[in-house]
Amino acid sequence: MLEGLFGNPVIEKIFFTLLVYNESYALGLAKTFEEPVNKFQQQLKRLEEGGIIVSRLVGNMRIYTFNPRYPFLKELKTLVSKAYEFIPVKEKERYYRKRTRPRRAGKPL
């Protein structure tokens, strides 16, 4: 949807994911969208270098979030939110409805 603007289909997936879940990581994105992890790693790196997202290490995992200090964040989120409204329900359910509430370790799925 925003591919024409961002020049890359991966970027909008990253933005929609960050918009919905607030944070994400390369392997998680790759598993969700069933695409190679390096595709996401490359674009996450590019966005981080551009100051649009930031990351922190949690254990061995690099977690990414929108950069709250990015001066155009409000405007970017408005654009991404608007585009998100146009995603078909089926696609939203498939990619953007993961359980985020806690689940005690050892509890059966």
Does residue 68 bind other proteins (CB under 8 A)? yes
Choice from 60, 69, 105, 108 touching other proteins (CB under 8 A): 69
Cβ atoms of 37 and 27 closer than 8 Å: yes
Query: Which residue stretch of 3-11, 20-28, 70-78, 94-102 sits at the interface with other proteins (rule: CB under 8 A)?
Result: 70-78
Cβ within 8 Å of residue 55, ≥6 positions away:
44, 48, 62, 63, 64, 65
Q: Map tokens 């200090």 to a residue.
A: 69
Out of 59, 71, 88, 102, the only residue in the binding site for other proteins (CB under 8 A) is 71
Assess 73 for contact with other proteins (CB under 8 A): yes
Phi and psi at residue 57, to the nearest 5°: -90, 130
Q: Note the residues at the interface with other proteins (CB under 8 A).
A: 49-51, 68-69, 71-74
